[in-house]
Amino acid sequence: MTDRDEAPAGAELKILYEDEALLAVDKPSGMLVHRGMGRDRVTLCDLVAGRSSGPAHPVHRLDRGTSGVLIFAKSSSVARLLADQLQGDEVTKKYVAIVRGRPPKSGDIDHPVPSREGGPRVPARSTFRTLETLATEPRHSSIVEVTPLTGRFHQVRRHLKSLSHPVIGDANYGRGDLNRAFRWRYGLGRLALHALRYELWHPETGQRLVFFAPLPADLAGPMKRMGTKWDPELFDGRRREPLLNKG
């Protein structure tokens, strides 16, 4: 599955957390968040609207090919409060990606990218650490954890590309021949990028919330076939701190 492939019909909504103010879901790879210019039969917003009695607003973006944690606000007022957190440094996001080659052990990426599709480049920062390098064919690949410190268009994908280590399966910033090889050898038929962990302050209670989305089968399975020493099915960033109260 590439960025442009549609999620299978009958995709179900996987709820990670829900209360009267917000909803956290585990987005599958291949599903659009909202219709926009796409012509998909079903989007994630459609599934959320079918469950909720009122409007639900996605408060951040995930690309079609990216899976993992996505947060919806159940009112415009909550959406504004969460947007304010996103503009500051109160939200923590962690992604897991399989990338081409052997990146450094860790590093900071300060590389301008557009804040929206077709827009001008603006400052953007991420940090990363390499978790494991795999002796895959036709060339080595690595599992990395990325923490975006800003929220820009395709930021994680563009930043990894800027290091010359694009995400495997990336039709925009990777290499088609390598993507096809990993699909054929390991069954990796999707963008190898997953939003693993998301932390924020509850906009009404002030409690610190931590959401996890374990690696899905269409990413965990290929990782096993690639020879990872991790257990992908349990790979959910289990650094669980107690819930805190803001201030």
Which residues are tagged catalytic?
A: 63
Element (H or E) spanning 47, and its range? helix 44-51
Q: What is the DSSP letter of 245?
A: B
The CA-to-CA distance between both ends of the chain, in Å, stands at 44
- The encoded tokens of residue 177 equal 């021949």
Q: What are phi and psi of 165, to 5 degrees?
A: -135, 70
Helix, strand, coil content of the chain in percent (nearest 5)? 20, 30, 50
| CB distance 101 to 203 below 8 Å | no
| CB distance 102 to 139 below 8 Å | no
**Spatial separation of the C-alpha atoms in residues 116 and 128, rounded to whole Å:** 22
